[in-house]
Structure 1
């Protein structure tokens, strides 16, 4: 029996070793087409570091954070929120500039634009901008952490947490394989929308005295609808252009799916809220629909800034 047990243990170890070897071989095959320019950049060595960060984020905002705050008073983060929001505005402005200068304003055709994998200054600049956009998604995770610290648990919805988690995860693969080209147009648009949205959030966080500067809040819904329409229209060109040389079409399909799904969701909301003249849902009255719909594309769902 003892010999049989040893043989079974040895067989199990061999099976585990075979699985590890197969997994390592599959990963090696998968990663061999990665962009060598970005592989040494922060968080880009493998998807494991970001996976651990995302897992820790999900655990904190859904379990650990609420338990730690259960018997504590909600934090007053007015000053932090002001600095945070306007910092994101500044970062978004910078990324807009970099996206324009590295391709979208200096040579891209707005049609089938392939990725520049060369070591040229402009090609590397675009790749670096894509990495910065990817890293900004981790910064935006603070949205949810602030909700937890302020005990605004109603804002920590599944959709909110899902999109804060999925955006950096999918963008790791974008930076790893396709840092540039037509797949980055939605990121440029998203940065532009972030400038507007976080400016609104920042002014709201300043308090009631700044309400007079928020006359344009009624246009936020239209801005987001335009964003979805532009993303969907631009990326859909791929399916009608002959011999488009974009290297990794999988990203085109992912972007197109996001754009179409949320364009239809937003149009449905627009139809019921405005065209049919129905009473606006409470979520809009609380000014959270704008945050929710923007968060669908950029992980900023339900970003409420109440005082």
Structure 2
């Protein structure tokens, strides 16, 4: 009984402390919070719920006794659009005046939002386009289901797509800082390369035989999470002024991604796996 009471008190105190810190770190902005899908929260969570319902239940049942859809043209357009969209996001940051200066000087100890309000508002606008790209990414899985590529719909794939939508929304809705900037820039760079690969692969066997670099995409993603973890840990070591609640969440999530991507790489590309499948 005492152990149960202690555990209940511990969880209650942890929850109270979390929300106390969260209330101090949260940032509200009438302009940002008025953007599409920012407020209220239910449309974003509804999108994720519909996505999960379709790719895990509805889609597979719908396709069970049907032939795979031929979506080559649509997928080619989708992939090349993703290439240019993610390249645009990179351009957005590097072309925004003073963005590099602000990141270099204030990445550890951010200034008051009002001092650099117009710059941060512009960076938040870029974050919204990044958040929207994560909604577009959900179509990856939809195409897998409609083409009956169910083996591609793994825990890693579904978790990664769903949690990124929620994470990007939470960050822009409640924090509005630059704590995700490093992860975001690396991610869009990798997506430019990844969707370029998908575009070329979708062109058919005549092109696919030259695409020897698929496994390096997974390696790049693994390196991405290692860099992000090092960066976030440095933020704690040097006692930077980043939101502690979201930073801890990002660290936990980066560890999950690192584990899942590493397991995927080992299971897919390890020498032992190749020997077994031969």
Q: Smaller-chain TM-score range?
A: 0.7 to 0.9
1:126 aligned to 2:123? yes
Q: 1:240 to 1:120 in 2, by over 3 A?
A: same
Does the CA contact (< 8 Å) of 2:32 and 2:124 recur in 1?
yes
Superposed, 1:164-203 pairs within 5 Å as 164-203=161-200
The answer to whether structure 1 residue 206 and structure 2 residue 203 are counterparts is: yes
> Which one has the bigger helix percentage?
2
Q: Is residue 47 of structure 2 the alignment partner of residue 53 of structure 1?
A: yes
Answer 1 or 2: higher relative contact order, Cα 8 Å, separation at least 6.
2
Specify which of 149, 152, 155 is matched with residue 152 of structure 1. 149
**Residue number in structure 2 paired with 1:228:** 225
Partner of residue 279 from structure 1, selected from 265, 269, 272:
272
Quick one: distance in 1 between partners of 2:275 and 2:71? 25
Change (3 A) 1:84 1:55: same
Distance of aligned partners of 1:212 and 1:62 in 2 relative to their CA distance in 1, 3 Å threshold = closer
Partner of 2:110: 114
Number of positions where the alignment pairs a residue of Structure 1 with one of Structure 2 = 253
2:59 to 61, 65, 81: 65
Question: Which residue in 2 is equivalent to 1:298?
Answer: none
SS class of match (1:75)? coil
Conserved? CA contact 1:74–1:150, under 8 Å = yes
Structure 1 runs not aligned, ≥5 long: 1-25, 286-307
Computing the radius of gyration over CA atoms, which structure comes out larger, 1 or 2? 1
Superposition misfits of 4+ residues, deviation over 6 angstroms: 29-32, 268-274
Q: State the Cα RMSD in Å.
A: 3.1
**CA shift in 2, pair 1:193/1:112, >3 Å:** same
Q: CA deviation at 1:269?
A: 7.0
The answer to whether the 8 Å contact 1:115/1:178 transfers is no
Q: How far did residue 149 of structure 1 move? A: 0.8
2:258 corresponds, among 246, 260, 263, to 263
CA shift, 1:161, in A, is: 2.1
Contact 1:113 1:182 in 2 (8 A): no
- Cα distance in 2 for residues equivalent to 1:147 and 1:64: 13
1:148 Cα offset (Å): 1.2
**1:39 match: secondary structure:** helix
- For 2:180, what is the secondary structure of its paired residue? helix
TM-score, normalisation: structure 2: 0.79
The separation in 1 between residues aligned to 2:57 and 2:265, in whole angstroms, is 35
The alpha-carbon distance between structure 1 residues 36 and 157, as it changes in their structure 2 partners (threshold 3 A), is same
Change (3 A) 1:272 1:59: closer
